[in-house]
Amino acid sequence: MRAHDAGADGSAAMTRSGAGDGVGRRLRPALPSPAGVGRLPGEVAVDPVAPLVEDPRRLAPPRAAPGPRGFRGPGRGATSYIAAPPEWRGTTVQVCGLWPFSAGSGSPMVGVPVGRHLITASTVCCDPISWFTRAKLIANPSLFVLGRPGLGKSSLVRRMCLGLIAQGVIPLILGDLKPDYVDLVRAVGGQVVRIGRGVGGLNPLDPGGLRAAVSLLSGRARDELTAEMHGRQVVVTAGLVELVRRARLADHEQAALAAAIAVLNGVTDGDRVPVLADLVQVLRDGPDQVRTAVWDRGDDAEYERLIDPLLRSLTAVASGAFGEVFAGTGATSRLMLDAPAVCMDTSSIADTDERLQAAVLLACWSHGFGSILATQALADAGQRPGRIYLAVLDELWRVLRAGEGLVDRIDGVTRLNRQQGLGQIMVTHTMKDLDSLPALEDRMKARGFVERAGAVALAGLSEAEMGSLRDVVHLSHVEERMITEWATPPAWDSTRGVEADPPGLGKFLIKVGGRPGIPFQVRLTASERVLHDTNRRWGPAR
């Protein structure tokens, strides 16, 4: 190593200390020049090239791979701090020219934007239609939503409905009890149908206008739709009878009901829609098809003994507590499936009238699925354009608790649709709603609603729910802890004197099979808050 003499500018020089071949030599500052101009006392001037020239080995390229911060050693570019590069989000079309500097997102970008990822803050997109048709993430277009009241389940479903409306999908809210969706449907120019005493009714023998669609078809398509109509008529009528008597129909009563409805469909003119009173009259008359179904062996007394309980129950449906809703033709409830959205408003029914609420919900679901079936059949025949629909089945727990055997009716209503061009969202509070049924077979069938769902959205749930939930949804310990923390009661805000927002407000975990869940939080826009205020009646007290 060569030393520098002090220059005219007073710069300090380095002197050699010790002897040897230059390796391991120590450098010390030379005495500053008398002038002391341009350099502080003790400051050192080092020539970085000098040690490399004396030791050529240090100029050789490194043999090992660089570390996370570069090659270590003089002149090799190692750094002690690496700044995070800026990131931008875009579609594959927008960022295709940035290869190889693009990376896949950690959350799905196909579907309705529902919120921000709780870990990465990236946008999360989700809806059962897009995840089934475009993203191919789920096996069937259905979503089951579970969560405690007041955590935003309806807000999540409304966000999905609003986004799907913009994509041309028609949401059908089949029974809005609060109401949660009426304002949204009216805001987008949709149809709101009111159902209740003195407001509007439903005809269980004309589910969704299937009879009108049958009259427009011919050949095999007509026969298939006729069979579907008959099945839905039997399912919803039997469900109403079981709600009235709070017990299942006997086997011979189910056979008599199916035979009487078949007879009624065969003798009724195409322009006239039959009602429950017509069905009662057919059973009273006792045609051969009905007598054969109950095996009365030609004995009138035996026929009356077998059929009288069913007649009494049907009469109670047509003229009793349910009569104002189900006795008429239900012309006011005809759905317009060309509207941007359809909502069947059942909020006029009091919460204390649980059986009527359950009966109306069951009839609304059957009516809505029947309307979709009729529309798709006409589209297959080329008589109207095909559309995609989303059926929303909210407050599922009300029907499940209404009476024994209602699980079969719900299962029958949902399974009788063709699953063509139709997505489905079912909403309830907790797994206890499904496990509280008295019969074991009903509990297993109710659990099947969750197991068959393409995706499950979980809001805050208590620790006691985890055991039942773990049987149908695979959850890690971290995910379970996250869900239970969201169910924590809100803290008291001493500054404002009110309760703060719950910790789990708007937070959900989407689970698809055994895949890791996607946690996100729904953030409402200013325009959405006006339509999503489910506590509007409490406004003066808030």
Look at residue 391 and give its three-state secondary structure: strand
Which of 59, 80, 95 delimits the end of a domain? 59
Specify if 529 maps to a domain.
no
* Whether residue 182 is found in the same domain as residue 311: yes
Cis peptide upstream of residue 29 (ω within 30 degrees of 0): no
- Rounded Cα distance between 77 and 61, Å, is 12
Specify if 476 maps to a domain.
no
Show pLDDT as tens, one digit a residue, over the chain (542 residues). Answer: 344 444 444 433 343 444 444 444 444 444 444 444 455 555 555 555 555 556 666 566 666 777 777 777 766 777 777 777 676 677 777 777 776 666 656 678 899 999 999 988 888 999 999 999 988 899 889 999 999 988 999 999 999 999 999 999 999 998 888 888 999 999 999 999 999 888 888 888 887 778 888 888 989 989 988 998 898 899 889 989 988 888 889 999 999 999 999 999 887 665 678 889 999 999 999 999 999 999 988 899 999 999 999 999 999 898 877 888 888 766 555 788 889 999 999 988 888 888 888 888 888 888 888 888 888 889 888 888 888 999 998 888 877 776 666 677 677 666 655 456 788 899 998 888 887 777 787 788 888 888 888 899 999 999 888 888 888 888 999 999 999 999 988 877 666 666 678 889 999 999 998 888 999 999 888 888 877 665 554 444 44
Look up residue 314 and give its two tokens: 């049907």
Look at residue 14 and give its three-state secondary structure: strand
**CB 97 within 8 Å of CB 89:** no
Which of 388, 417, 451 delimits the end of a domain? 451
Q: What is the pLDDT of residue 18?
A: 41
Q: How many CA atoms lie within 13 A of 170 on its CB side?
A: 25
* Whether residue 39 is found in the same domain as residue 155: no
Specify if 285 maps to a domain.
yes
Specify if 49 maps to a domain.
yes
**Residue 538: Cβ-neighbour burial (10 angstroms; 0-12, 13-18, 19+):** exposed
Among 357, 359, 365, residue whose Cα is nearest residue 426: 365
- Rounded Cα distance between 321 and 244, Å, is 9
Which of 398, 429, 451 delimits the end of a domain? 451
If you search the block for the tokens 């199916």, which residue do you land on?
258
* Whether residue 49 is found in the same domain as residue 160: no
Give the domain range for residue 50. Answer: 14-59
Specify if 9 maps to a domain.
no
Domain count, the chain: 2
* Whether residue 388 is found in the same domain as residue 274: yes
Look at residue 472 and give its three-state secondary structure: coil
Specify if 133 maps to a domain.
no
Look up residue 55 and give its two tokens: 């030791």
Specify if 517 maps to a domain.
no
Specify if 309 maps to a domain.
yes
* Whether residue 54 is found in the same domain as residue 175: no
